[in-house]
């Protein structure tokens, strides 16, 4: 039996992971499940999967979780320390599906104890690529990408030599506003940005898809995971979300990964790697689909993509600044304090203000330097937003 843990079990990726696990319960011994505010879901899943421990990120909800687990053998715990402690419990395979920078620490701890880390939390690579890749190289643990584009690139590289790769193309659906005018985008509401044409995901990543901050994070994630020059990475708008990525080789061949927009493919690939097993995803009928479309993204509409390359050029802790500023700008958008297009302005301003700061110049990246940079960038982003609203 494989020992597994799921961090962010109550979210969209977490629930898709649980869907796959429950189809083959006898193969897995569940160590830890973690969640946030959805105590009922966390307790229900922890009981069903007979987890050793269930952890809520919110310490105030501990008693509620204990009550919900009464009569079961599942241990209840709460808070960031308890999440890190759960990540230190030996497991063979760990799903990292917490949203945001909070996902970094448990992922690092899981790698250190030698787990295979299925990495959905893109923020880990964006904020601390060198740290997380370095930890994987030093420890017995290793990382498998779960973001659909990165899983697609990873699959396209099996048996290939990285030296023969010329380009890595990740696709973007264009999100909720792909056919909107800039004027309309400026007035867009969180409700409008929260519905994705193709994928069913958590609210934050859905809004990030509409602004292409999600794709910007993924460009950085690509560079960090595949250790390629950023000039090699391209983004292509592909409204159907069926070609997830393409790898271009020196002989002119383009290997495309084609599949339905269902995260259970990438999760299942990481779960069964290096084998391929049957997965409950739709089989595409290309004759019925007929046409697939591609176009170059308009950087005026999607300034986040331009910023991603600036961040990669700056290197060091710029990714941590970018992500933290983006998280605060997104909070502001959700709370109606920041306009949709203003999110990129806030992030760019924070990157500018911190470009000369000492913390960006630190040579060695540790969890402390990343955390310090993250806090500084959040504080700066709040100041920028306060100035905007003055």
* Residues found near ligand NAD in the complex (CB under 6 A): 8-14, 35-36, 57, 83, 97-100, 102-103, 120-123, 147, 199, 201-202, 204-205, 263
Q: 59 or 355: whose CB is closer to ligand NAD?
A: 59
> CA 356, CA 236: separation in Å to the nearest integer?
32
344 and 307 Cβ atoms separated by less than 8 Å: yes
CB of 388 to ligand NAD, least distance (A): 25
- Return the biggest CA–CA distance within the chain: 62
Closest by CA to 338, choosing from 329, 348, 349, is 329
Whole-angstrom distance, CA of residue 181 vs CA of residue 156: 35
Between CA 222 and CA 216 the distance in angstroms is 10
Which of Mg ion, ligand NAD, none does 202 bind, CB closer than 5 to 8 A by kind? ligand NAD
Count CB atoms within 10 A of the CB of residue 67. Answer: 11
69 binds, among ligand NAD, Mg ion, none (CB under 5 to 8 A by kind): none
Distance, CA of 37 to CA of 16 (rounded, Å): 18
Which of ligand NAD, Mg ion, none does 14 bind, CB closer than 5 to 8 A by kind? ligand NAD
Nearer to Mg ion, 39 or 193 (CB): 193
Minimum CB separation of residue 359 from Mg ion in Å reads 29
The correct pick among 147, 221, 262, 349 for binding Mg ion (CB under 5 A) is: 147
Answer whether 86's CB lies under 8 Å from 64's CB.
no
Q: Which residue has the tokens 């904020």?
A: 127
Q: Which is nearer to ligand NAD, 332 or 349 (CB)?
A: 332
**3-state SS assignment for residue 143:** strand
- To the nearest whole angstrom, how small is the minimum distance from the Cβ of residue 99 to Mg ion? 13
Among ligand NAD, Mg ion, none, partner that 196 touches (CB below 5 to 8 angstroms by kind): none
CB closer to ligand NAD out of 246 and 360: 246
In the complex, least distance from residue 233 CB atom to Mg ion, rounded to whole angstroms: 14
d(CA 102, CA 99): 7
Q: Select from Mg ion, ligand NAD, none the partner in contact with residue 78, using the beta carbon and a kind-dependent cut-off of 5 to 8 Å.
A: none
Quote the least distance from Cβ 96 to ligand NAD, whole Å.
8
* Cα 53 to Cα 5: distance, rounded to the nearest angstrom: 10
Stretch that binds Mg ion, among 77-85, 143-151, 321-329, 362-370 (CB under 5 A): 143-151
In this structure, the chain runs to a length of 390
From the CB of 218, what's the least distance to Mg ion, in Å?
5
Q: What minimum distance in Å lies between the beta carbon of 39 and Mg ion?
A: 28
249 binds, among Mg ion, ligand NAD, none (CB under 5 to 8 A by kind): none
The dihedral through the CA atoms of 31, 263, 330, 310 has a sign that is positive
Distance from C-alpha of 21 to C-alpha of 268, rounded to nearest angstrom: 9
Nearer to ligand NAD, 38 or 139 (CB): 38
Neighbours of 375 (CB within 10 A): 13
Return the structure tokens found at 132.
């997380």
Cβ closest to Mg ion, residue 52 vs residue 149 = 149
Task: State CA 362 to chain mean position distance.
Answer: 25
Closest residue by beta carbon to ligand NAD: 11
What DSSP designation does 284 have?
A: P
Taking the least distance from each CB to Mg ion, the nearer of 94 and 146 is: 146
**Smallest distance, Å, CB 8 to ligand NAD?**
3
Q: Which does 132 bind (CB under 5 to 8 A by kind): Mg ion, ligand NAD, none?
A: none
Q: Which is nearer to ligand NAD, 57 or 328 (CB)?
A: 57
**CA end-to-end distance (rounded Å), the chain:** 58
Q: Binding residues for Mg ion, per CB under 5 A? A: 147-149
């Amino acid at each position: 039996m494989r020992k597994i843990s799921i961090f962010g079990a109550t979210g969209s990726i977490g629930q898709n992971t649980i869907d796959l696990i429950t189809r083959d319960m006898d193969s897995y011994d569940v160590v830890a499940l973690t969640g946030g505010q959805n105590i009922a879901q966390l307790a229900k899943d922890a009981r069903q999967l007979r987890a050793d421990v269930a952890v809520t990120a919110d310490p105030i909800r501990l008693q509620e979780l204990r009550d919900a687990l009464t009569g079961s053998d599942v241990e209840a715990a709460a808070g960031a320390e308890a999440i890190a402690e759960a990540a230190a419990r030996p497991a063979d395979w760990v799903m990292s599906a917490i949203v945001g920078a909070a996902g970094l620490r448990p992922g690092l701890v899981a790698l250190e104890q030698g787990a295979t880390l299925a990495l959905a939390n893109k923020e880990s690579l964006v904020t601390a690529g060198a740290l997380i890749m370095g930890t994987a190289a030093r420890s017995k643990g290793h990382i498998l990408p779960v973001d659909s584009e990165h899983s697609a690139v990873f699959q396209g590289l099996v048996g290939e030599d990285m030296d023969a790769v010329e380009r890595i193309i990740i696709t973007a659906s264009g999100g909720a506003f792909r056919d909107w005018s800039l004027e309309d985008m400026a007035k867009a509401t969180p409700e409008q940005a929260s519905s994705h044409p193709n994928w069913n995901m958590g609210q934050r990543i859905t809004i990030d898809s509409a602004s292409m901050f999600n794709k910007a994070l993924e460009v950085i994630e690509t560079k960090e995971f595949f250790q390629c020059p950023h000039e090699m990475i391209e983004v292509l708008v592909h409204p159907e979300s069926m070609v997830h990525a393409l790898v271009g080789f020196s002989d002119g061949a383009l290997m495309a990964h084609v599949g339905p927009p269902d995260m259970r493919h990438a999760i299942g690939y990481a779960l069964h790697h290096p084998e391929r097993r049957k997965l409950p995803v739709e089989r595409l009928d290309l004759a019925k689909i007929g046409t697939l479309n591609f176009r170059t993204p308009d950087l005026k509409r999607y300034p986040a993509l331009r910023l991603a390359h600036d961040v990669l050029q700056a290197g060091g802790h710029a990714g941590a600044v970018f992500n933290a500023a983006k998280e605060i700008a997104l909070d502001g958008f959700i709370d109606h304090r920041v306009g949709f297009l203003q999110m990129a302005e806030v992030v760019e301003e924070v990157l500018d203000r911190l470009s000369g700061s000492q913390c960006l110049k630190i040579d060695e990246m540790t969890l402390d330097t990343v955390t310090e940079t993250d806090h500084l960038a959040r504080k700066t982003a709040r100041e920028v937003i306060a100035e905007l609203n003055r």
